[in-house]
């Protein structure tokens, strides 16, 4: 994998830790491409944490209305900025436990920010990572949800596989995902990794077209 992706980077565009946090919050149930279309004007209008803290959700909403759940996310961004100013001196914290205190920041979002911004050895497991981890045999059949897969997946990839390089490349790279649905088309024949079932038996399932 290191040979194929020697220096993985997130597709989200940002210039500092605050902008990364904003982009990751906006990316929940939304594509990175869409987020990247929205954030330039948002960052131009609110370039700093302080600027966002002094704004209102009504001011933020028009700039992110093409993003999924813009009402909630506009409130989350203003709320997060205020909490950062009030309790963290306007600085995005590196700790996952501190990050999840921010409005709109769940554990997965916190892990992505901590990993990409601060190289914290943590692994964000979403549906795509969960499926890939099962497909290549990193977890057992007992790991039936993304939450249950996080710890065994992190143990399987080891300390060199978590942190910035683990969370910042698209976990869906072996997959084709069509439209807003979760139709997954495996490209096992092109994958550089051995494809395994949950119990570890190597397989090469037929690729659907």
Residues with catalytic annotation? 108, 126
Cα angle, residue 34 at apex, residues 30 and 35 outer, rounded to 5°: 80
Between the two ends of the chain, the Cα-to-Cα distance in Å is 25
Extract the tokens encoding 184.
């997954």
Whole-angstrom distance, CA of residue 152 vs CA of residue 164: 18
Closest CA to 197 of 131, 109, 151, 148: 131
Instruction: Please count the CA atoms within 13 angstroms of the CA of 48 that sit on its side-chain side.
Output: 7
Instruction: Please count the CA atoms within 13 angstroms of the CA of 122 that sit on its side-chain side.
Output: 18
At 70, give phi and psi (nearest 5°).
Answer: -65, -30
């Amino acid at each position: 994998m290191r040979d194929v992706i020697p220096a993985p980077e997130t597709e989200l565009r940002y210039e500092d830790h605050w902008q990364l946090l904003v982009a990751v919050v906006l990316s929940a149930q939304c594509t990175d491409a869409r987020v990247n279309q929205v954030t330039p004007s948002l960052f131009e209008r609110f370039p700093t944490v302080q600027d966002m803290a002094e704004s209102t959700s009504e001011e933020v909403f028009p700039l992110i209305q093409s993003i999924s759940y813009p009402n909630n996310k506009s409130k989350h961004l203003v709320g997060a900025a205020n909490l950062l100013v009030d309790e963290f001196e306007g600085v995005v914290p590196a700790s996952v436990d501190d990050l999840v205190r921010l409005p709109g920041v769940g554990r997965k979002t916190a892990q992505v920010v901590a990993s990409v911004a601060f190289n914290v050895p943590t692994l964000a497991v979403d549906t795509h990572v969960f499926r890939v981890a099962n497909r290549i045999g990193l977890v057992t059949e007992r790991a039936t949800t993304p939450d249950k897969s996080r710890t065994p997946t992190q143990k399987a990839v080891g300390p060199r596989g978590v942190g910035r390089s683990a969370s910042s490349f698209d976990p869906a790279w072996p997959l084709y995902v069509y439209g807003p649905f979760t139709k997954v088309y495996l490209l096992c024949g092109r994958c550089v990794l051995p494809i395994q079932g949950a119990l570890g038996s190597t397989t090469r399932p037929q690729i659907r077209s």
